[in-house]
Amino acid sequence: MIPLTYKTIRQVAGPLLFVEGVNDAAYGEIVEITNALGERVRGQVLESGKGLAVVQVFGSTLGLDVNSSSVRFLGETARVGVSDEMLGRVFDGLGNPRDGGAPIVAKEKFDIVGSAINPYSREEPSEFIQTGISAIDGMNTLVRGQKLPLFSGAGLPHNVLAAQIARQAKVLGASEEFAVVFAAMGITSEEANFFMREFEETGALERSVLFLNLSSDPSMERVLTPRLALTTAEFFAYEKEMHVLVILTDMTNYCEALREISAARDEVPGRRGYPGYMYTDLATIYERAGKIRGRKGSITQMPILTMPADDKTHPIPDLTGYITEGQVYLSRELERAGIYPPIDVLESLSRLMNQGIGRGKTREDHRGLADQLYAAYAQGKDVRALSAIVGVEALSENDRRYLRAAERFEKMFVAQGVYEDRTIEQTLEIGWEVLAELPDSELKKIRPEYIQKYRKKASGG
C-alpha cells in the first residue's frame, strides 16, 4: 500500500492530533508527521473512524499547526528492528542511537506490542538467582523468569540497589550467556549517567542494551520505551537463547504519560485520574517476563517505581503489585536508620520464592528459616513499638529477646555493603545467628530436625 499523506489536521490537543478525511487508518497504525518547520515526528493511531483518525504524537508537538503540517499514514503497526549488534549500545526512547554510533541494520523487524505468551507454553520459573543481597536472597528470593519490582520513594537508593543487583545477579553453577536490557523513562540525566558509569566500570556495558528517555525528552515516547526494550529482550531471550534481566525505571513516569494521553482524550478517569485500563496496559508490559517451555532463554524483569508520597495504595504501586510476582519494598525508616539496602522485608514478598528454594536449590532449611525470621522480626517490631510506650524495663524477658532479635536482624542480616556479594550460605548462616537470641521452643516454623542440624548452639539459645 502506498503511504497516504493528509494535510487535514483539524485539531491539536496536548499529545493528540485529530485528522479529518481519513477513511481507513488502521487501529495502531504508525504515522509520520511533518510540521510547519519541516521537522518530523512519529505518532500512532489511537482511534479510527470514517472520516476521522485520532493520532497520538510521540515527541514534541512544537511547531505543529493545522494549515501546513502533514500526516503520512505508513500502513504498518509499530515495529522495531533488532539485532545482536545492539549489545553495548545506547539508544533513545524511540530506539535511535544516542551514543553517536551507526544506526542498527536489522534483518528482522518485530511488532513492539507482542502477542501474549500462551499460558500453556510457559515454564514455571524455578531457578534461584543469587543477587548477593541477604534481604532478597534469604527472604524474598528472585527466580529466573520472575517480575519483581522495587517499590521505592523519592530519595531512596533504588538506583544503587538496582545497579548492585544487575552487577551481582547470577545463577549458581551455571555459565550461560546473559544480557541486561535497561529502559529509562523520564529519569534525570544524572541518574542516567550513574547507570552508564556503573555499567561501564563493571564491564557490564558490553552485555547491555540501554534505552534512555530522559526527563527532558518528550513524555509520549515513554509509552513506547518499555515496549521497545522488551521486544529487544525477547529477541535476545528467545532467538539468541540468552538470559535477560530487564530493568525498567521509573514506571511512575510511564503511568503519568498514560494519564496524560487519557486526559487529552477526555476519557472517563479511574482512580486519581489514571485511565481505567491502566491495569491491562501495565499487564502487557509486566507479563512479558517469563520462561517458555523448550526454549533456553528467559526474561526476568525488575521494574522500579517511586511511590508518590511513599503511599503503597497509590494506583501505580497498587496495580503493579497485583500483576507482578511480589515486590521489594524500600523503607524510608530504615534508610534514616542508616541501613543499606533499606529493604523492609515485612512489606516485601516474592511469590515465586518457594519454587526457587529448598533442597537441591538453596538449602532445605531455607523456607522455615525465612518464615521464622519474618515472624520474629514482625514480633520484634511490635515489641519495639510497645517499649516506646511502657519502656524496656516493663517488657517480659521473652519480649526483650524479640527486641534484640529485631535489632540484630536489621544490623546484621539486612544491612550490607554496596559491594558486598554474599553467598546464599552466608545469608542463611547470618539468619541462624539472628535466631540465636530465641530459645528452641519459640522456633515453631522450622522443622525440629533442621533446628538440630543447623542451629548454632555455641552462640546461645
Partner 1 sequence: MADGYVVRVSGPVVVAEGLEEPKMYDVVKVGELGLVGEIIRIQGSKATVQVYEDTTGVRPGDKVVNTKQALSVELGPGLLSSIYDGVQRPLSVLREESGDFIARGISIAPLDEKKKWEFQAQKKDGEEVVEGEVIGIVQETPLITHRIMVPIGLRGKLKGLRSGEYTIRDPIGSIATPQGEVELFLATKWRVRTPRPILRKLPPDSPLLTGQRVLDTFFPVAKGGTAAIPGPFGSGKTVTQQQLAKWADSNVIVYVGCGERGNEMTEVLATFPELEDPKSKRPLMERTILVANTSNMPVAAREASIYTGITMAEYYRDMGYDVALMADSTSRWAEALREISGRLEEMPGEEGYPAYLGRRLAEFYERAGKVVVVSPDKRVGSVTVVGAVSPPGGDFSEPVSQNTLRVTRVFWALDASLASRRHFPSINWLTSYSLYVDTLSTWYSKNVADEFPALRKEALEVLQKEAELQDIVQLVGYDALPEAEKGLLDLARMIREDYLQQNAFDEVDTYTSIHKQYVMLRTILAFGRRTAEAIRRGAQATQLSSLPVKSKISRLKWTPEAEVDRLVEEIEREMGEQIEGVVREAVAQ
Interface of this chain with partner 1, residues 225 to 264, rule: CB under 8 A: 238
CA 236 vs CA 73, 82, 84: distances in Å: 30, 9, 8
Residue 399: what residue type? D
The answer, yes or no, to whether the previous bond of 65 is cis (omega within 30 of 0) is: no
69 SS3 class: coil
Using CB under 8 A, which of 283, 400, 407, 461 touches partner 1? 283
In the complex, least distance from residue 398 CB atom to partner 1, rounded to whole angstroms: 9
Q: Length of the chain in residues, anyone?
A: 461
Q: Does 145 bind partner 1 (CB under 8 A)?
A: yes
In the complex, least distance from residue 307 CB atom to partner 1, rounded to whole angstroms: 11
In the complex, least distance from residue 351 CB atom to partner 1, rounded to whole angstroms: 8
Q: Does 280 bind partner 1 (CB under 8 A)?
A: yes
Using CB under 8 A, which of 34, 56, 141, 146 touches partner 1? 146
Binding segment for partner 1 (CB under 8 A), chosen from 44-52, 153-161, 240-248, 400-408, is 44-52
Residue numbers 65-84 binding partner 1 by CB under 8 A:
77
* Distance of alpha carbon 28 from alpha carbon 175, whole angstroms: 41
Residue 405 φ/ψ, nearest 5 degrees: -60, -40
Residue numbers 168-227 binding partner 1 by CB under 8 A:
none
DSSP per-residue codes, 170-186: EETT----EEEEEEEEE
Residue numbers 336-375 binding partner 1 by CB under 8 A:
346-347, 349, 351-352, 354-355, 367, 371, 374-375
Total interface residues for partner 1 by CB under 8 A? 85
Name the grid cell of 16. Answer: 493528540
Site string for partner 1, 85-104 (x = CB under 8 A): --------------------
Q: Do residues 356 and 172 make contact, with C-beta atoms less than 8 angstroms apart?
A: no
Name the grid cell of 460. Answer: 546461645
Residue numbers 413-452 binding partner 1 by CB under 8 A:
441, 444-445, 447-448
Q: Does 396 bind partner 1 (CB under 8 A)?
A: yes
Name the grid cell of 235. Answer: 529477541
Binding segment for partner 1 (CB under 8 A), chosen from 12-20, 225-233, 248-256, 318-326, is 318-326
Q: What residue has cell string 499487564?
A: 283
Q: What residue has cell string 533442597?
A: 359
